[in-house]
Amino acid sequence: MGNGKRVVCIEDEPEMIDLVKLILSRKGFQVSGAMGGREGLEAIQREKPDLVLLDLMMPDMDGWEVYQKMKADEATKAIPVIVVTAKAQSIDRVLGLHIAKVDDYITKPFGPQELLESVEKVLARLTQSQSA
């Protein structure tokens, strides 16, 4: 299913990165983790992944800042982003989604199925738009 697609998971908790790696690698994705925003941006620029999983709440550089920098760079602006947020207020999420045009979001704690469905949905959409 993953067909070796590359995912960069930007997250400040190592155990979350391990969880994402575990869930996605079973489905054939290649996942690399980056601890925090700065490292995340470097990983995106270096690897040009097919998809980015981006935690919004990080100490060194928050997720929106990473997102804006990604979108401001020609080389990385087309990469889809799934935002991971621990805030469960739905209105915040919807507003944030509209402002930033992120591809999807999931809230922590999420289950393996939820993560997979989100990743597959976003990548399927990408494939459709590329072949259109």
For 3-42, how does the pLDDT look when each residue is reduced to its tens digit (9 = 90+)? 889 999 999 999 999 999 999 999 999 999 999 999 999 9
In whole angstroms, give the CA distance from residue 6 to residue 61.
23
Domains of the chain as residue ranges with CATH: 6-131 (3.40.50.2300)
Asked if pLDDT for residue 90 goes beyond 60, the answer is no
Asked if pLDDT for residue 92 goes beyond 80, the answer is no
**Buried b / exposed e across 62-78, counting CB within 10 Å, b at 16+?**
ebbebbebbbeeeebee
Which tokens is 104 given? 């999807």
Q: Whole-model pTM?
A: 0.88
